[in-house]
Copies of this chain bind each other. A is one copy, B any other.
Amino acid sequence: MQISLNSVTVKERWNLAQCIEGCVRHGIAGISPWRDVLQAMGVEKAARHIRDAGLTVTGLCRGGMFPAADAAGRAAAIEDNRRAIAEAHAIGARCLVVLGGGLPPGSKDLPGAREQMREGLHAILPDARAAGVTLALEPLHPMTCADRSVLSTLSQALDLCDELGEGVGIALDVYHVWWDPDLARQVARAGTRIAAFHVCDWKVPTTDTVFDRGLPGEGVIDIPAIRRMAVEAGYAGGFAEVEILSKLWWARDPDEVLDEITRRHAAFV
């Protein structure tokens, strides 16, 4: 598999232009920007630079985040997702990565938040289909359920895929699913609906529920085993996207980080 650089991995030090140049310099063939750095560069300009650099855009991060405290908030989230779909189309992204979003502030109604997520997905699906942008539902680790993602398991995401049909797939991030006793069965069930494959590692101890991910090999995840499951299931994308949210790695020189990623990719992915 080839490497794709998710821009969040170097977000403290590099803008998108620097990410593109960094990929070229390090022989990294894929890129996946977050919307903030994409918008900062300008979508059309970014699309041109990425194309000129010959990079594959393995995804745009991120859409979703539908649950909100009121109807206006939910409508705003849906509108924002429509803009995200247009951006993903403009840069030729293979998919828009879609997150569940957390509970609305003050709410304890988890089933209600999950229903809002479902309704949001139905609302944007026609736009995604019209633009030819695959919505890649990414279940996040259950420790993010309250504040980031009420989409918690592959099984839940695949139930939504089954319901929504054409144009919806899965973003499979080993960090979020490695613990799942049902992993092998659900990855097989996902099949060719795996639209993106993300790698990082679970460190022991993990000192922060969001910002303490490891590079491949720093933790306990058997990444090659999950990679094999994904490929056997039908993932033919050929890229492993490196998405590291880490205060430790953010403090390092991005060229060092990309060296580490390249070195570790061969050994641990």
Contact across chains for B205 and A179 when beta carbons are under 8 A apart: no
Tell me which of A142, A182, A222 has the highest count of chain B C-beta atoms within 10 A of its own C-beta.
A142
Task: With A142-B142, A146-B202, A209-B206 as known contacts, state yes or no: A222 contacts B181, CB within 8 Å.
Answer: no
Contacts of A180 in B (CB 8 A): 142, 152-153
A206 to B143, CA, bound (A): 9
Residue of B nearest to A219 (CB): B146
Contacts of A143 in B (CB 8 A): 141-143, 206, 209
Contact across chains for A220 and B181 when beta carbons are under 8 A apart: no
8 Å CB contacts to B: which residues of A136-190? 141-143, 145-147, 152-153, 155-156, 178-182
Task: With A202-B146, A205-B209 as known contacts, state yes or no: A110 contacts B222, CB within 8 Å.
Answer: yes
Contacts of A220 in B (CB 8 A): 103, 107-108, 110, 146
Count of chain A residues with a beta carbon within 8 Å of a chain B beta carbon: 30
A3 in the interface (beta carbon within 8 A): no
Q: How far is the CB of A32 from chain B (nearest CB, A)?
A: 25
Q: A110-B178, A152-B179 are in contact. List 18 more A-B contacts (CB 8 A).
A: A103-B220, A108-B221, A108-B222, A109-B222, A110-B179, A110-B220, A141-B143, A142-B142, A142-B180, A143-B143, A143-B206, A145-B202, A146-B220, A152-B180, A153-B181, A153-B182, A155-B181, A206-B209
User: Which residues of A approach B to under 8 Å, CB–CB?
Assistant: 103, 107-110, 114, 141-143, 145-147, 152-153, 155-156, 178-182, 202, 204-206, 209, 219-222
Q: List 16 A-B contacts (CB under 8 A).
A: A108-B220, A108-B222, A109-B222, A110-B178, A110-B222, A142-B180, A143-B206, A145-B178, A145-B202, A146-B220, A147-B204, A152-B181, A153-B181, A155-B181, A156-B182, A205-B209
Contact across chains for B205 and A147 when beta carbons are under 8 A apart: yes
A209 to B180, CA, bound (A): 17
A204 to B179, CA, bound (A): 22
Contacts of A206 in B (CB 8 A): 143, 146, 209
Residue of B nearest to A178 (CB): B110
A202 to B103, CA, bound (A): 12
A143 to B145, CA, bound (A): 12
Q: How far is the CB of A112 from chain B (nearest CB, A)?
A: 10
Q: How far is the CB of A204 from chain B (nearest CB, A)?
A: 5
A110 to B180, CA, bound (A): 10
Contacts of A181 in B (CB 8 A): 114, 152-153, 155-156
Contacts of A155 in B (CB 8 A): 181-182
Contacts of A107 in B (CB 8 A): 220
